[in-house]
Chain A
Amino acid sequence: MKGSSIKEHLGYREIFLPGEDVIITSGFTSDLLSDVMANAEEDSVLITIQAHRNSVAVAALAGIRAIIICSGRKVPVDMLTAAEEHAIALYTTGDNQFTASWKTAELLTKS
């Protein structure tokens, strides 16, 4: 699926989308960055509450294309800057990780 469909179909807030839309083929939900680093698949979307630039660093290293920040947590400016630098799409939602995960999974199955 395209990164932009997270906004279009789930109504999540788009904080950043790289000039060229990202293509996502799977998802990973975790708040432990070591877990993400070790186990997330490439070309996935990371669903987490860790709203800080280290999540972007891990995403860039693990080949993750998009991050959904859950539970209404705010994205700090330096996180946005890092996302821009590494071309990683960034979304926020009031949904918790469980809800964001099944909604995203549904979206992934459809497309």
Chain B
Amino acid sequence: MKPIPINTINSPTVILELIYRLKIKDVMSTPLVTADKSATLRSIQLLMRDKNVTGIPIVQGKRLLGLVSMDDIIQALDLGYIEEPAEKHMTRNLTVLEDDMPVSFAITYFDTYPYHRFPVLSKKKELVGMVTTRDISARLLLEINREVDAIERAAAKHISHDDSIVKKQTFTVLRHNFENAGYASTELKKFLKSENIDSAAIRRAAVASYELEINLVVHSEGGTITTEYGDNKLKLTVSDTGPGIPDIDAAMEEGFSTANSWIRSLGFGAGMGLPNVKRVSDEFTITSEMGKGTAIVAVIYLLK
């Protein structure tokens, strides 16, 4: 199968924003065409033809048990067990997506696995939809049309980048862009190394900037991280556009986390981020307003 020609790492910002903003639930097909585990493969074949689909999830209530694909049907016809129940021949051990994951995950899954469709489960592990490459491309084209239209209208508006000054750099960090997480910190580390900064200080700077970057990816609606170097200090300024932190004292407590299960499954969201930043910083301030956003300034003295 051809890979989806959208790179989840260095596509244009508009596209990246799209695939991280759009959730699986925004692109998946509903309502679902499902069959009971006792349904015969013959009846499923008819259902496929009738509903014009090539894969049918087998369910018990809302619980996903397996999947019967066109390949399974062809095999059944070939080997003569088309009248047998789905339960006996369906594909089990399915790879699934979660409905609140960004679409970028689906793109990565389609490029990683040889499957043509993935069942989508809710947080409660209930089957809520199916997603195919076609679902993704259709929705993306729709959104891209909208974006291109907006870009055409705002052709005069241009985005300024402040990376001409060696000592000050600003990085844009997008919500749920895990693929790029760490980019700003890696660049910062390279720069500090080139300035022959002591390795322990570089480590503290890397911890602070990485945790702040990950916080933007995991919790914010997107924001920027600015690194300023000079006078033997490194100043990290982070600001985002929301949603804001309801209880800063709680957020500063080690182990407190609001991250969801799939973020935790990636090894993030352990509630160590902000405490880690504070620990390695010599100056640390955080302000947050619900609905407006969060601003953090962390300063690290490089000579100690």
**What is the bound-complex CA distance between A67 and B205, given in angstroms?**
22
Chain A residues lying within 8 Å of B206, measured Cβ to Cβ, are: 37, 61-62
Query: How many residues in A have their beta carbons less than 8 Å from beta carbons of B?
Result: 24
Query: Is B270 a contact of A76 with CB atoms below 8 Å?
Result: no
**What is the bound-complex CA distance between A31 and B207, given in angstroms?**
16
Chain A residues lying within 8 Å of B280, measured Cβ to Cβ, are: 38
* CB-nearest residue of chain B to A59: B182
Tell me the smallest distance from the CB of B300 to a CB of chain A, in Å. 14
Chain B residues lying within 8 Å of A54, measured Cβ to Cβ, are: 178, 181-182, 266-268
Task: Indicate whether A35 reaches chain B with its CB closer than 8 angstroms.
Answer: yes
Q: Mark A11-54, 1 if CB is under 8 A from B, else 0.
A: 00000000000000000000111110110001000001010111
Interface of chain B: mostly helix, strand, loop or mixed: helix
Contact of A77 among B112, B199, B207, B211 (CB under 8 A): B112
Query: Is A34 a contact of B276 with CB atoms below 8 Å?
Result: yes
Known contacts A50-B267, A54-B181; A76/B112 CB under 8 A: yes
Task: Indicate whether B229 reaches chain A with its CB closer than 8 angstroms.
Answer: no
Query: Is B211 a contact of A34 with CB atoms below 8 Å?
Result: yes
* CB-nearest residue of chain B to A57: B182
Known contacts A57-B181, A61-B206; A37/B267 CB under 8 A: no
Query: Is B276 a contact of A37 with CB atoms below 8 Å?
Result: yes
Q: Which of A31, A52, A61, A78 has the most CB of B within 10 A?
A: A61
Chain B residues lying within 8 Å of A48, measured Cβ to Cβ, are: 267
Q: Mark A66-78, 1 if CB is under 8 A from B, else 0.
A: 0000000000111
Query: Is B186 a contact of A61 with CB atoms below 8 Å?
Result: yes
Query: Is A37 a contact of B108 with CB atoms below 8 Å?
Result: no
Q: Can you list 28 pairs linking A and B with CB atoms under 8 Å apart?
A: A32-B270, A33-B214, A34-B214, A34-B270, A34-B272, A34-B273, A34-B276, A35-B272, A37-B211, A38-B279, A48-B267, A50-B267, A52-B178, A52-B266, A54-B182, A54-B266, A55-B267, A57-B185, A57-B186, A58-B210, A61-B185, A61-B186, A61-B207, A62-B203, A76-B108, A76-B112, A77-B111, A86-B186
Please report B residues at the A interface, Cβ cutoff 8 Å: 8-9, 108, 111-112, 178-179, 181-183, 185-186, 189, 199, 203, 206-207, 210-211, 214, 266-268, 270, 272-273, 276, 279-280
